[in-house]
A and B are shown apart, each in its own frame.
Chain A
Amino acid sequence: MWYFAELVVNGALTGLMYSLAALGFVLIYKSSGVPNLAQGAIVMVAGYAVWLLVASGVPLPLAIVLGAAAMFGLGLLMERLLLRRMVGQPIIMVVMLTLGLEILLRGIAPGLLGAAPKSLDLGIGLAPVIIGDIFINRAYLWGGAMALAMIVAAMLFFRTQIGTKLRAVSDDHVASWAVGISVERAIGISWGIAGVSAVAAGVLWGSVQGVDWTLSMLLFPAVAVVILGGIDSIVGVFVGGLIVGILGSVIPGYLDGIVGGGTRDVVTSLIILLTIMVRPYGIFGREDIERI
């Protein structure tokens, strides 16, 4: 029983950290309809950026702030240089462009800064938090709290003036233009914010597993979170993250010993597949109605 509870709690916290990576995906999709499959690589770049700053002697809080600013700029840049030119192209082109970006970033960052895992110490400490008989990874606890804070911040952000503009853009590009909203700038800002949320994900995951290219593999669970929760829903990121995290922790916790490992990816794949077959727009997503 305690084992089960431990799996659930740690799974939920991991899931919240997945949703941190998924948040950027949703922000971009919501505003521009672009599925950003490079989000995992952006998280990796953010991790590398903060590590680079810390390694060159900048104190950690300042490094995170500077890293966030840099990633905001990088997000703007990617939107301006690459994605804006793909407006109106078929979805396969956009998907492939973001995948190309993913591959490029995965080559550049480890290529220039070294492929060996870098440690990023947040000063959280390794001693687990013990409640009853449950061992909770302290870093995950911080990560979960951080993820919750980011999700709440994102929801609050959509109530501010810029956030309202972004919501308008996500509803209808042409109508937003008509009332004087700069759609280009709104989409650019959403890329920038996705970059900032990637810093949170990159720092937290980087402190857990070290900064190297494997951070970009967060894309897969993040995609599962997004598909399950609904591809354009912030609440969906929270709920989807919890479900993906808990299932991805409990099921391997009992099955891995029997079938010999690696069931977490299977659970993630099955979540994606079943969601798409049963309810493609996810739990909280908006159903698309297509006209001929």
Chain B
Amino acid sequence: MFYRLSGIHHTRYESARSLWPIRTDRWQVLALAAFALAAPFLLSTLYLGSYLLPWLIWSAAALSLTLLMGMAGQLHFGFAAVMAIGAYSSIHLVRWGVPFEIALLAAGLIAGLIGSVFGTAALRVKGLYLVMATLAMQYLIDWTIINVPAISGGAQATLRTPQISFLFLPIETLTARYYLALGWVVICTLFLLNVKRTSFGRALVAVRDKDFAAAVIGVDPFRYKIMAFLTSSFMGGVTGAILAFCYYRAVTPEQFGFNVSIQLVAMVLVGGLGSVIGGFLGAGFVLLVPIFLTNFVAGLSDAGWVTVSPNLLAHIPLMAYGALIIGFLLVEPLGLAKLYDNIRKYFLVWPFRHARS
């Protein structure tokens, strides 16, 4: 069929190292890139602004988290707080007159520095205790943001994002905001695709698999755990800033609460730990399935086929989301990325079949 490994012979190291050795994969990536670039002209504002844009930004967040959880193996249940730091610091920097480009980087750096503090817990404990420690830090940061008026602008305040321009282009229309978010997602994706092939990425994987063993072969777990937290928090901070400026445009502390942290972990797990395509699929699934299901049930109820109370309808997203997490963990612990991989492998050896295992 269209996926073929036969006929692909690597004669040079460069081609053997290429990201997409199969021609169909390259075509897929090209087609996706073309669609992403053309999306503002193809899709209505509704789909672009309330589905594609948040999906891209949350994918960037899931990719940042998967660097930490999937590659470095450090559990983090307070990632929304890191994103909040990025969002709030970028807004305040822009308000003080710092250009947006620099504010974006600075927001990443601030989030990275504070995020590394989360990492200090990882040096002491791991597993369940790390989950609890990061969770506690999430509460602390939330509380600080809410109760320091200089940050949140008051207890119940929403902070509007100021007008910005990026590289002399005003970021005001939906299309401009979409392209900015797209640019950042592409950077994140390229970074994650390539980090696995660097010594840094391999050191992270060594630390994930067993930190003592990594220390024995000369990889300093202390250093790489902190670096993993720093890198991933930097990315998370910038994503938070992008989320604030491109999507929310008015931030409140609740947008970065504990539930959002759980949601991010769910995206990473449903997508598949440590997988790049899993980040995209997981973010899309966790964001969209509850919405679609609610709309579906609401549609059924409007058509008069089932009677659903408004109260039950309001709780369907929560149920769908919980059931989604449970279902994936039980049925396919490796997530959507594994499902994608299965389909791809099926076509790779087509017309032959793998024995069912």
Contacts and interface: CB of A to CB of B under 8 A. Distances in A.
A5 interface: no
Given A111-B311, A262-B146, A227 B132 contact: yes
A280 B124 CA distance: 8
SS class of chain A's interface: helix, strand, loop or mixed?
Answer: helix
Contact of A114 (B273, B311, B323): B311
Interface stretch (B134-142, B167-175, B196-204): B134-142
A280 B129 contact: yes
Interface stretch (A45-53, A94-102, A189-197, A236-244): A94-102
A244 to B, nearest CB: 13
B16 interface: no
B318 A106 contact: yes
A106 to B, nearest CB: 6
Nearest to B258: A220
Contacts of B132: 223, 227, 272, 276
Contact of A111 (B155, B210, B319): B319
B66 to A, nearest CB: 12
Contact of B314 (A35, A89, A96, A111): A111
B330 interface: yes
Contacts of A122: none
B124 A92 contact: no
Nearest to A224: B136
Given A102-B322, A111-B316, A262-B146, A97 B329 contact: yes
Contacts of B140: 266, 269-270, 273
B128 A115 contact: no
Contacts of B312: 111-112
Contacts of A273: 121, 133, 136-137, 140
Contacts of B265: 96, 99
Contact of B315 (A85, A97, A107, A292): A107
A270 B140 CA distance: 8
Contacts of A292: 210, 212-213, 216
A115 B330 contact: no
Given A259-B147, A272-B132, A103 B318 contact: yes
Nearest to A277: B124
Nearest to A263: B143
A125 to B, nearest CB: 32
Nearest to A226: B132
Contact of B137 (A95, A96, A114, A269): A269
A262 B129 contact: no
A97 B131 contact: no
A96 B315 contact: no
A251 interface: no
Contacts of B124: 276-277, 280
A85 B329 CA distance: 10
Contacts of B213: 292
A261 B318 CA distance: 29
Interface in B58-83: 69, 75
Given A259-B147, A272-B132, A105 B269 contact: no
Interface in A260-292: 260-262, 265-266, 268-270, 272-273, 276-277, 280, 290, 292
B315 A101 contact: no
Contacts of A106: 318, 322
A276 B216 CA distance: 26
B285 interface: no
Contacts of A223: 132, 135
A104 B127 contact: no
Contacts of B136: 268-270, 272-273, 276
Contacts of B29: none
A86 interface: yes
Contacts of A96: 265-266, 269, 325, 329
A280 B262 contact: no
A93 B268 CA distance: 11
Given A107-B316, A111-B319, A260-B147, A95 B128 contact: yes
A81 B15 CA distance: 48
B99 interface: no
- B137, B139, B322, B323: most-surrounded residue (chain A CB, <10 A): B322
Nearest to B265: A96
B322 A103 contact: yes
Contacts of B49: none
A110 B313 CA distance: 11
Interface of B: 69, 75, 121, 124-125, 127-129, 131-133, 135-137, 139-140, 143, 146-147, 155, 210, 212-213, 216, 262, 265-266, 269, 273, 311-312, 314-326, 329-330, 333
The 5 closest A-B pairs by CB, nearest first: A104-B322, A111-B315, A100-B325, A107-B318, A103-B322
14 contacts: A35-B131, A91-B128, A92-B269, A93-B269, A93-B329, A99-B325, A100-B324, A104-B326, A106-B318, A107-B316, A111-B316, A268-B136, A269-B136, A269-B139
